[in-house]
């Protein structure tokens, strides 16, 4: 990175959810070296409260993008958003305070404040997280670790008093009204959860796991290499390690989940390649101190 490079001329603007998808998916593929379809992009930012901050050169060419995906409401009624798809064209990187990255994130935070967001968080990798902290646009919150549970033989107690039951999509959808609001800090509606999983372009599975009198509903996806990745927990503030161990035992697959989703012994904890951040420049931030530990905003199937 060369801070002495001449800062490129660019303009910042905001567009509403889903606008300009055709151009943005081209930038996405250029930056991340894999494709996303305009349809998948439109799904990702489908909620009307989501928005995009973009940087364009004087000729209109796209230099950068940062999005805020609506994630639910805080207890005080203000919005919570997940910062997604922060990207700068490779030909326009290398600036510090006056560059595309810093100014775009600063303007993203200002616009989020104008739209009554009280919390904007994200999960960048280590290098962009460090850069954001250095420039004062990110505050680092945590470095998540992943709990890993290997299949074992289920005990007699588990076989008699505990349940592992896979739900079909229709049954899962019917359970959402009672379970979608289970998050302690960031509250979601059944409609939001239905959009996030049932209407998503990827396939999820749904399990009821735990003691018969207090089971949780787990949202799970194929993590590759024969593993199951737990991406959400409904119907409980957290999931116990015993629940995840039982899922591993019954499915005969290794089960992985971010450790902050799990109470009790956390299996074999491993580092993830991500850092949890929040926007440092968001005006009037009102996040509860326990939002990461107890609220779990954001899903963990992002890497």
Residue 103 has what pLDDT? 93
CATH topology of 11-144+273-295 equal to that of 145-271? yes
Contacts for 232 with CB less than 8 Å, ≥ 6 apart: 193, 196, 197, 218, 219, 299, 300
Q: Are 109 and 68 in contact (CB under 8 A)?
A: no
CATH fold group of domain 145-271: Aminopeptidase (3.40.630)
CATH fold group of domain 11-144+273-295: Aminopeptidase (3.40.630)
44-56 residue pLDDT tens: 998 999 999 999 9
Q: Are 135 and 97 in contact (CB under 8 A)?
A: yes
Query: Which of 158, 185, 144, 143 lies closest to 244 in space, CA to CA?
Result: 158
Task: Kindly tell me if the per-residue pLDDT of 99 is higher than 90.
Answer: no
Residue 20 has what pLDDT? 85
Calpha distance 303→299 (Å, rounded): 10
Phi/psi at 13 (5° precision): -150, 170
Q: Are 149 and 249 in contact (CB under 8 A)?
A: no
Calpha distance 22→272 (Å, rounded): 31
Domain residue spans of the chain: 11-144+273-295, 145-271
CA atoms within 13 A on the CB side of 267: 30
pTM attached to this predicted model: 0.86
150-203 residue pLDDT tens: 999 877 777 777 888 999 999 998 888 766 655 667 888 888 889 989 998 889
Mean per-residue pLDDT of the chain: 85
């Amino acid at each position: 990175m060369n801070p002495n490079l001449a800062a490129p001329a660019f303009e910042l603007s905001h567009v509403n959810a889903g606008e300009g998808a055709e151009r943005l998916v081209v930038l996405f593929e250029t930056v991340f070296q894999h494709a996303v379809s305009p349809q998948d992009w439109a799904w990702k930012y489908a909620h009307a409260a989501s928005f995009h901050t973009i940087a364009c050169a004087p000729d209109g060419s796209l230099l950068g993008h940062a999005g805020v995906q609506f994630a639910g409401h805080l207890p005080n009624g203000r919005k919570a958003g997940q910062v997604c798809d922060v990207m700068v064209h490779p030909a326009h990187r290398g600036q510090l305070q006056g560059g595309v990255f810093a100014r775009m994130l600063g303007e993203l935070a200002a616009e989020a404040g104008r739209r009554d967001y009280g919390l904007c968080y994200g999960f960048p990798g280590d290098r962009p997280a460090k850069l954001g902290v250095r420039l004062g646009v990110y505050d680092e919150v945590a470095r998540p670790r992943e709990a890993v549970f290997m299949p074992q033989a289920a005990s007699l107690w588990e076989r008699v008093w505990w349940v592992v039951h896979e739900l079909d999509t229709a049954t899962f959808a019917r359970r959402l009204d009672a379970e979608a609001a289970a998050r302690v800090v960031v509250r979601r509606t059944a409609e939001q959860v239905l959009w996030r999983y049932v209407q998503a372009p990827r396939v999820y599975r749904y399990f009821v796991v735990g003691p018969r009198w207090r089971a949780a509903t787990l949202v799970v996806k194929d993590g590759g290499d024969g593993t199951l990745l737990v991406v959400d927990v409904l119907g409980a503030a957290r999931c116990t390690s015993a629940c995840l161990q039982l899922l591993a035992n019954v499915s005969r697959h290794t089960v992985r989940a971010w450790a902050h989703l799990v109470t009790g012994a956390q299996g074999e904890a491993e580092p993830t390649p991500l850092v949890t951040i929040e926007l440092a420049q968001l005006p009037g931030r009102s996040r509860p101190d326990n939002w990461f530990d107890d609220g779990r905003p954001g899903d963990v199937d992002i890497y």
